[in-house]
Amino acid sequence: MKSVKNKWGIHFLFRMWVAVAVLTVTVSSCLEDDEYEVDELLFAIGNVRIIEGNDYYFELDEGSKLYPGDTTAISNYPLVENQRAFVYFTLLEQALPGYEYNAALKHVENILTKDIHKMTPEEEDSIGHDRIDVDNIWLTEDYVNIVYRFYHSNNAEKKHMLNLVVNENASASDDGFLHLEFRHNAYNDTPLQGGNGIVSFRLDSIRDQLDKYEGLCIRAYTLYQGENDFFVKK
């Protein structure tokens, strides 16, 4: 059993410190030739909000707004309303009314975002139950976010599937937490090297239930410790 103490309302830059290691390797080659100092680079998670046409901003998890005042480095970023993303940026000097941050975007990494699934006994095999580690979990108003690690073959054609499920076949619990399971299907991929990332799951389907509990208990079949429960309070 592991208790994860992240709560709603923690400043987004603190949350990002936890997640930086996940994506640093991925984007380092994209950023290494830029002229700014590494210490100036900031990170945030938020959702794309399209204003009109190609004009947009990011609504960050703690409620502030980040306007992309300079998109030179990501001019081809495809806009999708409500797309969840990990944003690398530096701050511009000019303030913009209505926005907490006016930023020069350096890289945007889309985050896999899914609904929480109600898993029937008949679906259990297809959902999968392969090993996966949970490095961190935190709740925002609309999402539960998981930083994870698993092994893979580094073959781009081999896809893995992640789901957060309500197991309809599981026994009820009276510990004050809503119980879910973080499931991984590796589709028989060869476990040659470690990989990690972030996934977000929408709370819409469990919001009414969650109101009655202290938080979530998320069970995962971990890499080295077998079944493990991760508790995160609201």
Q: What is the pLDDT of residue 6?
A: 41
The angle formed by the CA atoms of residues 135, 182 and 18, to the nearest 5 degrees, is 20
Distance in angstroms (rounded) separating the CA atoms of residues 136 and 226: 17
Tell me how long the chain is. 234
Q: Tell me the domains of the chain and their CATH numbers.
A: 12-110 (2.40.50.500), 112-233 (2.60.40.2370)
pTM value surpassing 0.75 = yes
Residue with tokens 């080659």: 29
- CA-based nearest residue to 139, from 215, 38, 50: 215
Q: What is the DSSP letter of 131?
A: -
Q: What is the pLDDT of residue 23?
A: 42
Residue with tokens 């781009």: 156
> Are the C-beta atoms of 84 and 143 separated by less than 8 Å?
yes
Give whole-number Cα distances, 163 to 46, 73, 110, 117, 209, in Å.
21, 33, 17, 7, 19
Measured from the Cβ of residue 156, the count of other Cβ atoms closer than 10 Å reads 6
Contacts of 50 (CB under 8 A, 6+ apart): 56, 79, 81
> How, if at all, do strands 117-119 and 161-167 pair?
parallel
Distance in angstroms (rounded) separating the CA atoms of residues 194 and 149: 7
pLDDT, one tens digit for every residue, the chain (234 residues): 554 444 333 334 434 443 443 343 344 445 555 554 545 889 899 999 999 999 999 999 989 999 999 999 998 999 999 999 999 999 999 999 999 999 999 999 999 999 999 999 999 999 999 999 999 999 999 999 999 999 999 998 999 999 999 998 888 788 999 999 999 999 999 999 999 999 999 999 999 999 999 999 999 999 999 999 999 999
